[in-house]
């Protein structure tokens, strides 16, 4: 299959294509752009700047990918990068911006992510693999989202926050602190409600691993202990499985602090 570039598409001189590329009507590709094999770019989508797109990505109509960051410190023409992995889906009107010089120069998106309509990934963000940003879910600058996290619709994540792996942020949430891995968070400001038990079971986490993680969550978020004291107690009393270790490492590395929590749920889920 040869590349299918619609006659009305505008392609700049520094765009390089892999194999089996589809570019729809009135799409605009201008900049230092590399597009991997089997990628589709829909009608009226615009890709700009220094942007590296991997294989098998789908960019839907009216998406804006690779534009200058929305940062006053950014100077027009600075060579910063948006790097996108493989098998991602970018739905209508989503926006993905390049990095800033002060922030390291790269916005990085991994593999197998879904960015629903009107979602936004700002400058210098790092999004892992298998994540979902639902409709109008937005990341401010310098946010890190670990693998398999979900950001609910109409939710906003404050700059420099982190969202832990397998965490789920409920819709219409305002996230101003780090969202712990494996947690269910929602609200304004977002609070930890519980362990994301359903998501973890779907991810294949065993019942034994879940038991130790639940105990760690109880101590971390429902014991009334300060973070450092909770970490010490978990290290003494809970079996340090890989999941528990990741939770502890995430908590220890937190600079903005972890999201607060509600009272302990009665059902233990």
The answer as to whether 112 is a domain residue is yes
Residues 6+ apart with CB under 8 A from 116: 91, 94, 132, 133, 134, 135, 137, 153
Mean pLDDT of 170-180: 98
Looking at the structure, tell me whether residues 125 and 228 fall in a common domain. no
Mind listing the pLDDT tens digit for each residue in 1-54? 789 999 999 999 999 999 999 999 999 999 999 999 999 999 999 999 999 999
Looking at the structure, tell me whether residues 35 and 136 fall in a common domain. yes
Which CATH number does the domain housing residue 52 bear? 2.160.10.10
Q: Is 68 a catalytic residue?
A: no
Looking at the structure, tell me whether residues 104 and 224 fall in a common domain. no
Q: What is the pLDDT of residue 265?
A: 55
The answer as to whether 65 is a domain residue is yes
Mind listing the pLDDT tens digit for each residue in 88-124? 999 999 999 999 999 999 999 999 999 999 999 999 9
Looking at the structure, tell me whether residues 16 and 137 fall in a common domain. yes
Which CATH number does the domain housing residue 232 bear? 1.20.1180.10
Task: Calculate the dihedral angle through the C-alpha atoms of 34, 39, 40, 46, rounding to the nearest 10 degrees.
Answer: -20
Q: Is 124 a catalytic residue?
A: yes
> Of these residues, 99, 103, 141, 199, which one is catalytic?
141
Hey, which bits of 85-143 come out as E strands? Answer: 89-90, 95-97, 106-109, 114-115, 120-121, 126-127, 132-133, 138-139
Q: What is the pLDDT of residue 268?
A: 45
Contact between 247 and 213 under an 8 Å Cβ cutoff? The reply is yes
Looking at the structure, tell me whether residues 130 and 15 fall in a common domain. yes
Q: Is 123 a catalytic residue?
A: yes
The answer as to whether 191 is a domain residue is no
Q: What is the pLDDT of residue 264?
A: 60
> Of these residues, 52, 71, 87, 124, which one is catalytic?
124
132: containing domain: 4-142
Q: How many domains does the chain contain in total? A: 2
**Distance of alpha carbon 209 from alpha carbon 201, whole angstroms:** 10
> Of these residues, 123, 142, 243, 246, which one is catalytic?
123
- 3-class secondary structure, 81: strand
Instruction: Please say which residue of 122, 142, 162 terminates a domain.
Output: 142
Mean pLDDT of 142-149: 98
CA distances from 247 to 52, 105, 184, 212, 230 (A): 32, 28, 14, 11, 12
Mind listing the pLDDT tens digit for each residue in 53-88? 999 999 999 999 999 999 999 999 999 999 999 999
Q: What is the pLDDT of residue 168?
A: 98
The answer as to whether 36 is a domain residue is yes
For the chain, the maximum distance between any two Cα atoms, rounded to a whole number of angstroms, is: 66
185 bridge partner residues: 169, 192
């Amino acid at each position: 299959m040869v590349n299918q570039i619609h006659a009305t598409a505008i392609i700049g001189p520094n765009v390089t294509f892999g194999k089996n590329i589809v570019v729809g009507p009135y799409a605009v590709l201008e900049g230092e752009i590399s597009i991997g094999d089997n990628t589709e770019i829909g009608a009226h989508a615009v890709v700009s700047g220094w942007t590296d797109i991997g294989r098998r990505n789908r960019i839907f109509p009216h998406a804006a990918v690779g534009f200058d960051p929305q940062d006053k410190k950014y100077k027009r023409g600075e060579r910063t990068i948006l790097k996108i992995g493989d098998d991602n889906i970018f739905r209508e009107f989503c926006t993905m911006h390049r990095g800033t010089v002060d922030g390291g120069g790269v916005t990085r998106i991994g593999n197998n992510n879904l960015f629903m309509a009107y979602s936004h990934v700002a400058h210098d963000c790092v999004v892992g693999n298998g994540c979902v940003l639902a409709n109008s879910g937005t990341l401010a600058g310098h946010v890190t989202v670990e693998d398999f996290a979900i950001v609910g619709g109409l939710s906003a994540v404050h700059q420099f926050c982190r969202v832990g792996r397998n965490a789920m942020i409920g819709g219409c949430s305002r996230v101003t602190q780090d969202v712990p891995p494996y947690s269910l968070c929602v609200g304004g400001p977002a609070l930890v409600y519980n362990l994301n038990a359903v998501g973890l079971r779907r991810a294949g986490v065993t019942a034994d691993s879940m038991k130790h993680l639940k105990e760690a969550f109880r101590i971390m978020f429902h014991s009334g202990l300060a973070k450092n004291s909770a970490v010490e107690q978990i290290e003494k009393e809970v079996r340090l499985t890989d999941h528990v270790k990741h939770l502890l490492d995430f908590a220890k590395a937190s600079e903005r602090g972890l999201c607060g929590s509600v009272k302990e749920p009665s059902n233990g889920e």
